[in-house]
Structure 1
Amino acid sequence: MSNTAKFNLRTAKTTGALVAGAGVIALLGGGAANAAGVHEAPKAKPAKAASAWTSPITGKYVFTGKFDQGGSHWAHKHSGQDFAVPNGTKVHSVHAGKVVEAGWGGAYGNNIVIKHANGVYSQYGHLSKFKVKVGEHVKKNETIALSGSTGNSTGPHLHFEIRKTPYYGSAVNPVTFLTHHGVKLHG
C-alpha cells in the first residue's frame, strides 16, 4: 500500500506525504531545508537547573538597610542587606554548609555564620532564636533561626551578609551575589 503526496519543486514544500511500505511509515514534511522530506524533531530546551542557592527569607519582606549604605547606625558602611520581617520569622540557610558560629556577635546580636564548600560565608544577624549549633551541617533552605531585634537593631529584621574570605572579611553585595546565583529576590 502506498500513498504519494504532491510535491512542488519550485517551493520545495510538501502538501503532506505519507509513505508506507515494507512495514515502515514515514511522515514527510515541507520547507526548503526539508526538500528531501527529512525532519528532525525540534530539540527541547534543557530544563533550567534549580539554583543551588536560595533566599534567606521566604514570604513577605521589605528591604531596609542596604549594602554599602552610610548612616549613623553603622561604624562604617552597612556590610549587608536587611530584610524587615516580623519577629520570629523563619530564617533559612541560603546554601548547604557548616555552621562555624552561632552565638552573640556584638552589634550583630545573636548571629550565625555558615561556611560553604566554595569558600563563601553567609552571616545572619539580629536573631531571636537559634535552630542550629556550631559544627552542624545544614542543607540549602534549612530553617536555621528565627528573626529578631538583638544587638545594634532598630526593629525586627534579618541582617544578611555574604563574605568571601576567612574571618568573615571581604563583604560583597548579598543581593547581587544571590541574583547572580539564580535567586529571585522581591524586596
Structure 2
Amino acid sequence: MSKRVSPRHSRVSQLRMRAAVLAAGLGASVALGAGVAAADTTLNVAASSTTASAVQNQAAAQAKAAADTAAKTKKAAETAKQAAAKKAAAKKAAAKKVTSWVDPVKKYKLSASFNQAGGMWSHKHSGQDYAVPQGTEVVAAHGGTVVKTGGNGAGDGPAYGNAVVIKHGNGTYSQYAHLSRVDVRVGQVVSTGQHIALSGNTGNSSGPHLHFEIRTTANYGTAIDPVSFLRAQGVTV
C-alpha cells in the first residue's frame, strides 16, 4: 500500500526547489559580473601601460632629435669658426707678404758694414755685405718693380759687377750687387722673398758675397744704413 503525499508537502518542495534555482542563478550572475569586472581591470591596466610606454618612447625620440639638432648646430658653428679663422689667417699672410721685408739671403754672415772705411772703396762702404757661398739664392727684400739690371753695376759703375735695383712702393729702392747671375728683367714686378739672382764675386770683390743697399733713389750716392732700415721693418739681421 503506497504512501500519499499531501498537497502541502508538495508545494513546500516546489518552493524550496525554486529558491535553490534562484540562488544558483544569482550566484552565477555574481560570478559572471566579477569575471567581467576583473577582465575590465586587466584591460585598463594594459592600456595604461601601453600609453605610458608610447609617451616614454615619444619623449625619448624628441630628446634624441633635439640632441642631434644641437650637435649639428654646434658642428656647423665650429666649421664656420674654423673657416673664418682660416680666411683671416690667409688674409693676414697675404697682407704680410705685401708689406713685410725679409733678408735678401739666408744663412749668411755679416761682413763689411755700412759707412765702413777701407781701401776697397774710394769712399766709405755704401751698403751691407752678406758673406755667402758662390751661387747662393738672392731674393727681393720687398715687393716692387725692377728698374735696373745688368753688368757695370746696372749703370752704377764696374765696382758693383752684375747688379739689380728694385723700386718699392714706399719710396725706397734696394740694390743687390756682385751677382754671378741675374734672373729678372727691367719692368718686372716681384714679390717679397721672390728669387731674383744668384750671389757671386763680380766687380770689385775680394770673395763671394752679396752687397746690399737701401737707397732713396735708384742711383748710386743715395744709400742709407740697410741694417738699421731692415730692423725697423721687423727683420732680424
TM-score by length of 2: 0.56
Q: 1:57 aligns with which of 96, 99, 105?
A: 105
Corresponding residue for residue 66 of structure 1: 113
| 1:13-92 equivalences in 2 (<5 Å) | 50=96, 52-58=100-106, 60-92=107-139
Corresponding residue for residue 172 of structure 1: 224
Consecutive unaligned residues of structure 1, counting only runs of 5 or more, are 1-46
- How far residue 165 of structure 1 moved from its aligned partner, in angstroms, is 2.8
Corresponding residue for residue 30 of structure 1: none
CA distance in 2, matches of 1:167, 1:129: 21
- How far residue 168 of structure 1 moved from its aligned partner, in angstroms, is 4.3
CA distance in 1, matches of 2:122, 2:185: 29
Retained in 1: the 8 A contact 2:167–2:218?
A: no
Higher relative CO (Cα under 8 Å, sequence separation at least 6) belongs to 1
SS in 2 for 1:79: coil
Consecutive unaligned residues of structure 2, counting only runs of 5 or more, are 1-91
Retained in 2: the 8 A contact 1:91–1:147?
A: yes
| Alignment coverage as a number of residue pairs | 138
SS in 2 for 1:176: helix
- Residues 56-106 of structure 1: CA distance to partner in whole angstroms, max 9, x if unpaired? 012x11111110000000010000000000000000100111111110111
Corresponding residue for residue 128 of structure 1: 180
Corresponding residue for residue 12 of structure 2: none
CA distance in 1, matches of 2:191, 2:105: 15
Corresponding residue for residue 56 of structure 2: none
CA distance in 1, matches of 2:125, 2:220: 14
CA distance in 2, matches of 1:85, 1:166: 25
- Residues 100-124 of structure 1: CA distance to partner in whole angstroms, max 9, x if unpaired? 1110111100000001111101000
Retained in 2: the 8 A contact 1:121–1:168?
A: no
> Structure 2 vs 1, CA of residues 151 and 166 (structure 1 numbering), >3 Å: closer, same or farther?
closer
Q: Which amino acid aligns with 2:133?
A: P
Q: 2:199 aligns with which of 147, 163, 169?
A: 147
TM-score by length of 1: 0.70
- How far residue 52 of structure 1 moved from its aligned partner, in angstroms, is 1.1
- Residues 158-181 of structure 1: CA distance to partner in whole angstroms, max 9, x if unpaired? 000000135344211100000000
Q: Which amino acid aligns with 2:128?
A: Q
Q: 1:118 aligns with which of 164, 170, 175?
A: 170
% same residue: 56
Richer in helix (by share): 2
SS in 2 for 1:86: coil
